[in-house]
Amino acid sequence: MIDKLIELFSFEFVVYAFIVGILIAVCTALLGVELVLKKYSMLGDGLSHVSFGTLAVAMVFNFAPLEFALICVLIVAFLLLRISRNSKINGDAAIAMVSGSFLALGIFISRVSGGFNQNLNDYMFGSIYAIKDSDLPLCIVMTVTVIIVYALFYNKIFAVTFDEDFAKAAGAKVELYNLILALLTAITVVIGMKLIGTLLISSLTVFPVVSSLKLAKRYKTAVCCSVGISLFAFIVGFVLSCLYDNMPLSTAVIFVNLIVYLVITFFTAIKKRKRI
């Protein structure tokens, strides 16, 4: 088993996938805490559908897929926040409408251009082979940027998540912080999509967070736990998918996350019982 792993890690693409995956796991865990607590969990999901649509467009017109999707999704994230603030359509509905439209666009374009090709399929489910050395710099720069920006605004983001009205009254630039959060989510979703796929990337922003909220009572611990669980799930999932051919990376990571969640739920339930 170990031999097989060592052999696999001698391939460059495996190492690339591992590096990018670790970074993505950290990003999703950090942003997820805010998204879940703000009840914005759908934002990641919506944006992943948007990126699928834009990818299909990029492939048909031969644009650089990652860069094109990144720009489009950033714009859509920005607009989504605007819509949900200014109009009577609420945020959830706006996300569902926009993501549905882009998904439909993606499917239509791929049909017109001769069906799903292998590439588009890879984006749907993610692939361990997806990170080429030409993508690596962009992936690393973007994810590291997300982590740094998050760290710089950590205290502000907490205050806004905890009580938006108070923050506004205290003179904080609440809209700006919400925008930053949406843009960071957009970046994470687009980069993560290569590896994990559009279908499952958003659940990575939810699973580790929900697990960690069961354990943590303080914000700092919640964020740390979430990152810890997310990294654990990714690493175990990565190893599993290397060892078993029928286990795609995204599935393995989600399974591990699910098991972690169930185990934590089980033990917290027992603990509660004992207390009673």
Partner 1 sequence: MQTLLRCENIAVGFDGKAVVENVNFELCEGDLLCIVGENGTGKTTLMNAVLGLVPLMNGTIQMCELKKGEIGYLPQRINKHQSFPASVKEVVLSGFVGKSFLFPFYTKDQKCRADDSMRMLQIERIKNKPFVELSGGLQQRTLLARAFCAAKKLVIFDEPVASLDPIATADFYKLLSHLNKDHGLSVMMVSHDIEEAVKYSNKILHLNHSKSFFGSTDDYVNSEIYRRFIEAKKEGKEDD
Instruction: Please report, as ranges, the residues that interact with partner 1 according to CB under 8 A.
Output: 37, 39, 151-156, 158-160, 162-163, 165-173, 213-214, 216-222
Residue number, 63 or 153, with CB nearest to partner 1: 153
Closest separation between CB of residue 87 and partner 1, Å? 12
Distance separating alpha carbons of residues 48 and 45, to the nearest angstrom: 5
Provide the 3-class DSSP secondary structure of residue 6: helix
Which residue, 10 or 275, is less far from partner 1 as judged by CB? 275
Smallest separation, CB 34 to partner 1 (Å): 11
CA 20 and chain centroid, separation: 12
**Least CB distance from residue 31 to partner 1, whole Å?**
16
Residue 162 CB, nearest distance to partner 1 (Å)? 6
The residue (of 37 and 247) whose beta carbon lies closer to partner 1 is: 37
* Residue linked to tokens 């049909």: 111
Q: Please state the closest distance from residue 149 (CB atom) to partner 1, in A.
A: 10
* Smallest distance from partner 1 to CB 210, Å: 9
CB of 206 to partner 1, least distance (A): 14
Distance CA 49, CA 70 (A): 13
Q: What is the longest distance spanned by two Cα atoms in the chain?
A: 63
Tokens of 87: 């109009």
Q: Which is nearer to partner 1, 36 or 186 (CB)?
A: 36
Query: Cα 87–57–89 angle (5° rounding)?
Result: 10
The tokens of 13 are what?
Answer: 């693409």
Q: Please say which residue, 8 or 213, places its beta carbon nearer to partner 1.
A: 213
Q: Which of 54, 49, 47, 53 is nearest to 68 (CA)?
A: 54
Q: What sections of the chain are H helices per DSSP?
A: 2-9, 12-37, 41-60, 65-86, 91-112, 118-125, 136-152, 154-162, 164-169, 174-196, 201-204, 207-215, 219-243, 249-275
Q: Which is nearer to partner 1, 51 or 230 (CB)?
A: 230
Q: Which residues contact 185 (CB under 8 A, 6 or more apart)?
A: 31, 35, 43, 44, 47, 77, 205
Instruction: CB nearer to partner 1: give 111 or 173.
Output: 173
What separation in angstroms does the CA of 4 have from each of 1, 239, 244?
A: 5, 10, 11
Q: Supply 163's token pair.
A: 């009580």
